Structure formats: C-alpha cells, structure tokens
Amino acid sequence: MATGSKVRSVKSKIASKLPTSSNEQLKTACSTAVKALQTTLSIAKDAAGSSGVPGLQAGISGLLFVMDVVKKTCQNTKDVEELAKHIESMNNILLTAKDGGRLSSAIVARIDKFSKICSTTTEEVRKIASGSLMKRAINYDNDSQAIGDQIRTMTWLIQSFTVETTLAIECALDEHIHFVKEVGTRIEGKVEDVGKKVDQINAKLDVRGCLWLSAVAVN
C-alpha cells in the first residue's frame, strides 16, 4: 500500500472513532457494563483472600486491569455483560470461604487454574494496550476481536468452574444423604433388635410372674 493511501486509511479509522451519537451510546453502554463488572470483581477480590489460593487476588486484579482497557476502548460490551453473570456465580462460592466455610481441595485446584489463566489473559491484553495510539487505531478491529477472545475464554472457564463445583457439591450432598440414610437404617435395625430383646425379657418376666402366682395360690 502506498504511503499516502496508508495515511488516508489511518485517518479514516481514527475519524470513525470520533464521537458520534451512535458511538456515545456504545460508550455509555460499555461504561455501564464495565462498572457493574468492576464492582463484582472488587467483591471477588475481597473474598479471594479467604479462598486459600495465594494467586487469586492477583488474578482478579489483572481482570480489573482488563476492564480498564475495555472501558477506554468502548469495546466488547456483550462479552463483558456475559462475563459478569458468571463472575457473580463464582463470588457465591468464594463468599462461602469468607464466611468460614471450607473449600474442598478440588475447588481450590479449579480456582488456582482460573487464577493462572487470569494472569495470562492480563498479559495478552497488556500487550495490546501498550501499543501506540496510531497502532491501536490501525488494529482497532483486530484488537477488539483479540480482547473479546480473551474475555470469552475467561467466561467459559468460570462457567466450567461453577458447573463442576456445583456438581461436586451435589455429589457430596448425595453421598452425605446416602450415608445418613444408611446410618439411619442401621440405627432402626438396632432399635428393632433392642425392642425384640425387651419383648423377650418382658415375656420371660410374665412367665415367671405367672409361675410365682401359681405357686402362691397352691400354697
């Protein structure tokens, strides 16, 4: 591409990003979505301290950085909204630990995996954000796609994490219920055995009582 054509292309792309009514609406929608997610992430970061996973707070801090980038570029609103839904689900699990509940080793392992991918995502977005204004203008659409891919990866990971965790909790609950039922059945059996023995003792006492009364009557 000739230098003149390239310059015109860059100017055209920059011009397309200048404020318009449509762009302002997009900016407002993106800003609202990002603020909501930042609030949710702040809650997650606070709860992360009790999760037992050292890298989780750093990972969530990285996601907050990603949201700052998204907010400045006004991109990926739908991706942000979808991520927010699943972050909320993860928060419920983290708050369990904060309230004194104990997370299983399997859940901690999933959170650790999530933390590491958070860090990887942050680095990828940081590389994109570190480019010059002109470079970002030229690569605007590609950068938007790349950031969207990173956010969707996080969304998929959290969705998998919450589904796996919910299933694990349900399985543990089923096992607990089965154990309680089994113990209950054993107790019922023992109670029945005790009842039978009591009946046998009572029967023997009744027989002895009758024999004693008979002996008294004869005398």
Q: What is the pLDDT along the chain (219 residues), one digit of tens a residue?
A: 555 555 455 445 444 444 455 566 666 766 777 777 777 778 777 777 666 667 777 788 888 888 887 777 666 777 777 777 777 777 777 776 666 556 677 777 777 887 888 888 888 888 877 776 666 666 667 777 778 787 787 777 777 767 766 666 555 554 544 444 554 555 555 556 655 665 666 566 555 555 544 554 555
pTM, two decimals, is 0.54
Cα-Cα-Cα-Cα dihedral sign, residues 184, 186, 187, 189: positive
Going by C-alpha positions, the residue among 38, 22, 40 that lies closest to residue 71 is 38
Give the ranges where 17-98 is alpha helix by DSSP (H): 21-48, 56-73, 77-98
How many helices and strands, by DSSP H and E, does the chain display? 7, 0
Q: Read off the pLDDT of residues 76-89 as tens digits, 9 standing for 90 and up.
A: 777 777 777 777 77
**C-alpha distances in angstroms, 166 versus 87, 162, 170, 188?**
14, 6, 6, 32
Q: Read off the pLDDT of residues 169-209 as tens digits, 9 standing for 90 and up.
A: 555 554 544 444 554 555 555 556 655 665 666 566 555 55
Residue 198 CB coordination number (10 Å): 10
